[in-house]
Amino acid sequence: MLRSNVFSCFVFYAVLLILKMYALAIITGQLRLRRKAFANPEDALRHGGLQFFREDPDVERCRRAHLNDMENILPFLFLGAVYSLTGPSLPVARLHFLVFLLCRVLHSVAYLFALTPPTRSVAYVIGQVPCVSMALQVLVAVIPYA
């Protein structure tokens, strides 16, 4: 499977996206510690008391960015893997994967730093284009077998 150039390319971008998701999870945890804003009472007790069992706007912003990644990257992982099996050309597939990665990075930066609208929305919409394209190409490839 990894002998396929397109699938290997997909794996490269998929791993980068997963590392980005891990980075957001780590940033969220670090913000919770710095802001002393814990989601669970037992964590608050461990770090100073129940008064720290609370929400913080910056922690919530980071958490929402992470949730948005999960909502978008997980479907991309499925679509990209199946799309890779349909035999697309390497340059076209790489473009799909690269555009999605860049848009997800921009989306996270826009979320974390509260960049002016519509930066985050534009990154989201443009990032959906390769996903829709891959989904349609997968459907076209499997229609004869449906």
pLDDT digits (tens, 9 = 90+) for 99-131: 999 999 999 999 999 999 999 999 999 999 999
Amino acid at 93: A
- Name the 3-class secondary structure at 47: coil
Task: Tell me how far CA of residue 104 lies from CA of 21, 32, 39, 53, 71, in angstroms.
Answer: 10, 23, 26, 31, 11
Contacts 24+ apart (CB under 8 A), 33-38: 35/59
Q: pLDDT digit string (tens) for 55-70?
A: 999 999 999 999 999 9
Q: pLDDT digit string (tens) for 70-83?
A: 999 999 999 999 99
* C-alpha R_g of the chain: 19
**Domain range summary for the chain, segments of one domain joined by +:** 5-141
Residue 3's pLDDT is what?
78
* Residue % of the chain over a pLDDT of 90: 97
The third-level CATH classification (topology) of the domain covering 5-141 is Four Helix Bundle (Hemerythrin (Met), subunit A) (1.20.120)
